[in-house]
Amino acid sequence: MYGPPPDPRQLTLLYTLGDDGWRYAICLMFCLVFGGVAMIRRLPPELRLLSFIIGQVALLTAPFAATMTEAVYGSFPTIDKSGSLLFYLDGVHQRVLLSPLDAVNDPAARLIGAHVGHLWLTALFDLTLEPFAAFNAQAMFNLCLGWWAAALWARALGASWTAAALLGAPFGMGLHVFRDLNWYTIEKSAVGWLALYAWATLNAARRGGAAWIAAASALFFVSAFMNWYWAMVEAAGIVAVTASFALRDPRGVTLRRLVLVGLGSIFAASPLVLLQLALLQGPQTLGDPERFLVERAALDSVSLWPPLWNRLELTRALSLPVILLAAWAARARRAEPETWALITLAAALLALSLGPQILPGAPNPVYYAARAVVPGFWRIAKPEVFFEGVYLALIGLAAIACRGRDAPRWLYPIWAVAWLLIVRTHPVYPGFSAPIEQRLAPDWAEHVMGPNEDPPKTP
């Protein structure tokens, strides 16, 4: 199975073109309006690209934009999505941010962790929407941000604006994102923060200056606040890239800038790191490290054989043009420092994404080394998140392959059709569910924080 079995309470809603054509028409209208804004040449190209992406996301995911206030996007209730909604309504994000010292003894804070930024983003949308609709709005936000940020990353590495839009689309609109939107916590779909950090770090390494170094450091904090997984991926990534430049040019200015980005990132995220470590040392256990290893990390990882990304077929989860372009760049331009750094980045993160085993019965020494050295690393239940960084590195290599070559605009309709066939027809693509009222059980902590780590019980 690609995800958890459906909850018996789930009520699936169908919106067909015949019965709900007006909803699809609204999404088309969004596409035309934002597409028109994208054609205004006086706007900065970054904003034109963002406007184009917003319109395309509204159209490609139709009728999502027109059902946002009526239905939950994806399966509902699920353990992760129900938990996010219930703990948001419980106000755990307010207690973590406003009373961090008291949060150490708060079972909800200890379960969720210091990364409650996604709940604050939910609160922002909740100013005008119902809570479930606020999560829907955040899902749309994450799709747009992921595509846009990956396109900025590709553009910074040399792709034209058209090519960058095409290369960024598989990252922000890939199966891995929609799988998470369908079943899991909303912050898992926020891959855009990972791409934004990579983009800012690249600019800091190339240009230097306090502004870019500060921007990269600030984005590391935001990534950690939104999702600890992204901070772990970014930390591993900056170590790998810094090591690559240290081996090739130990006295180069790029290495010094990368070291400054790394130090700035550590400094920026240090309050969150200290709070998270304190939460892990609280009065109740959050689980046994060996059980996490066997029951979670070993299952939610990348498999070399059969080739799967957390149960998703790599043939549909990855873009074939991106892989081919990346392979060409890795061979034809391997002498360039940035190419070699991206190869190193992809290799290091791939090793971590495999989890405890390289192949069945073959332990992964890289993963076990990280688990032994990095505090709290054992709590990573989904090593497959490191593959997000691998995919981003492949997109970067593909962008290098596109340097000096503009992509014809007629390629975009071909990509859109391919996306409809590959992603929208896949079983993990989200449908719509009716919102149902839930309450956090008064004794939930006794079930969750005990040795069995049962999920929250909701009546």
pLDDT (tens digit per residue) in 268-287: 999 999 999 888 876 555 56
**Which ranges in 73-191 belong to alpha helices (H)?**
79-90, 92-98, 100-103, 107-112, 117-125, 131-156, 161-172, 175-183
Identify the helix (H) or strand (E) that includes residue 329.
helix 320-332
| Displacement of CA 73 from its chain's centroid (Å) | 17
Whole-number pLDDT of residue 135: 97
Residue 151 to residue 160: CA distance in whole angstroms: 10
Ranges of each domain in the chain: 68-428+435-448
**Rounded to the nearest 5°, which phi and psi values hold at 331?**
-90, -45
pLDDT (tens digit per residue) in 43-53: 999 999 999 99
**Rounded to the nearest 5°, which phi and psi values hold at 104?**
-60, -30
**Hey, CA dihedral for 37, 42, 47, 52, is it positive or negative?**
positive
Give the residue, 214 or 3, on which the prediction is more confident. Answer: 214
* pLDDT surpasses 60 at 201: yes
Weakest-pLDDT range from 164-173, 276-285, 364-373, 427-436 = 276-285
Give the residue, 281 or 186, on which the prediction is more confident. Answer: 186
Residue 318 to residue 176: CA distance in whole angstroms: 9
* Token reading at 198: 């990579």
Average pLDDT over the chain, rounded to whole?
92
Instruction: Report pTM.
Output: 0.94
Residues 407, 401: contact at Cβ < 8 Å? Answer: no
Weakest-pLDDT range from 76-85, 326-335, 447-456 = 447-456
Whole-number pLDDT of residue 457: 41
* pLDDT surpasses 60 at 456: no
Residues contacting residue 88 through CB under 8 Å, at least 6 positions apart:
119, 122, 123, 131
Residue 378 to residue 365: CA distance in whole angstroms: 14
